[in-house]
């Protein structure tokens, strides 16, 4: 993520003159790795904490509540 801090201003400056297709592709390239990495902890944690399916609704409830609380 430190790469984003230092490189993102230059990348966004270059994107100002890019076509719509190029900007869409750039958005995918920039957001997909972050989305993948941020999306991994929930399913991995649920698998580790709840080998039986009985605790899965609690995990979803806690995840939803903490998402709303910020």
Cα distance between residue 28 and residue 43, in whole Å? 22
Residue 26: how many other CB atoms lie within 10 Å:
15
pLDDT in tens, 51-63: 878 888 888 888 8
Residue 56: how many other CB atoms lie within 10 Å:
13
Instruction: Tell whether pTM > 0.75.
Output: no
Cα distance between residue 46 and residue 58, in whole Å? 10
Q: Where are the domains of the chain?
A: 2-69
Cα distance between residue 28 and residue 63, in whole Å? 26
Predicted pLDDT of residue 43: 81
pLDDT in tens, 27-45: 999 999 888 887 878 788 8
Which residue intervals of 1-55 are DSSP H helices? 2-15, 20-39, 41-49
């Amino acid at each position: 993520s430190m790469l984003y801090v230092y490189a993102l201003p230059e990348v966004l400056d270059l994107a100002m003159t890019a076509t719509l297709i190029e900007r869409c592709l750039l958005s995918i390239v920039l957001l997909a790795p972050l989305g993948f990495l941020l999306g991994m902890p929930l399913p991995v944690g649920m698998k580790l904490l709840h080998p039986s399916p009985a605790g899965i609704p609690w995990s979803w409830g806690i995840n939803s509540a903490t998402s709303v609380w910020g």
